[in-house]
Chains A and B, each alone.
Chain A
Amino acid sequence: GAGVSQSPSNKVTEKGKDVELRCDPISGHTALYWYRQRLGQGLEFLIYFQGNSAPDKSGLPSDRFSAERTGESVSTLTIQRTQQEDSAVYLCASSPPAGSNTEAFFGQGTRLTVV
């Protein structure tokens, strides 16, 4: 596609349920990033993929969070046993090979609300 696509755009879930958030990066972009943006806050780094590998998972806030990427394309962020503090906008971004000087391209985000 022309840009980074995220789905769903909005997700309301009950506390304790699992959710999956999907990101389709720009074709050919080998680097993929997940960030979390809480209301009124900046961007919090979660995880970075280079190809299908995740060399940096340091931002994942707990073991309830996991992510994978397949085919050097689609990525899924999974949150298990959701808590109210997980409510946020989850942003995905992609860029050409890491180490290059190009900017990251962002999707529209998934707004997650845990009730």
Chain B
Amino acid sequence: AQSVAQPEDQVNVAEGNPLTVKCTYSVSGNPYLFWYVQYPNRGLQFLLKYITGDNLVKGSYGFEAEFNKSQTSFHLKKPSALVSDSALYFCAVRDRAGGSYIPTFGRGTSLIVHP
């Protein structure tokens, strides 16, 4: 079975400060890992993914994430937050080798960036 945990329901950060949104995962094999963002009344938009190779992945809008196999984590980061980054963020995992091709999503973390 595969699962994702986003331990924080909400993250608050001041504009211009660095932000981190946490994600840990569990899979039986090796993971594909994804981050998505959801703005109000919208669907999910893809931000970035880890497939293989370099543990630091760069994505859209200045976001990046670091894959840490030993800690089974894939935290989302941005060096300098913008008010417009305020949204709901979802981490997702898919087991590369398992029989399920279905991405499993975390509960989501609400990011609030204060001016």
Give chain A's interface residues, CB within 8 Å of chain B: 4, 31, 33, 35, 41-43, 45, 48, 50, 56, 91, 93, 98-99, 101, 103-109, 111
A109 touching B43, Cβ below 8 Å: yes
Query: Which chain B residue shows the least CB distance to A10?
Result: B41
A8 to B43, CA, bound (A): 14
B34 touching A43, Cβ below 8 Å: no
B32 touching A91, Cβ below 8 Å: no
| Stretch of B11-19, B20-28, B73-81, B100-108 contacting A (4+ beta carbons < 8 Å) | B100-108
Give chain B's interface residues, CB within 8 Å of chain A: 32, 34, 36, 41-46, 49, 51, 90, 96, 100-108
A43 touching B43, Cβ below 8 Å: no
Query: Which chain B residue shows the least CB distance to A31?
Result: B101
The listed residue (B34, B43, B107) touching A42 by CB distance below 8 A is B107
Query: Which chain B residue shows the least CB distance to A56?
Result: B102
Residues of chain B within 8 A of A45, CB atoms compared: 102, 104-105
Given contacts A42-B90, A101-B32, contact A106 B43 (CB under 8 A): yes
Query: Which chain B residue shows the least CB distance to A105?
Result: B46
- 11 A-B pairs, CB-CB below 8 angstroms? A33-B102, A41-B107, A42-B108, A45-B104, A56-B102, A98-B101, A101-B32, A101-B49, A103-B34, A104-B34, A108-B42
B46 touching A42, Cβ below 8 Å: no
Query: Which chain B residue shows the least CB distance to A102?
Result: B49
Query: Which chain B residue shows the least CB distance to A107?
Result: B43
Given contacts A31-B101, A45-B104, contact A101 B44 (CB under 8 A): no
Residues of chain B within 8 A of A106, CB atoms compared: 36, 43-45
Which 6 A-B pairs give the minimum distances between C-beta atoms?
A98-B101, A42-B107, A106-B43, A43-B105, A106-B44, A101-B51
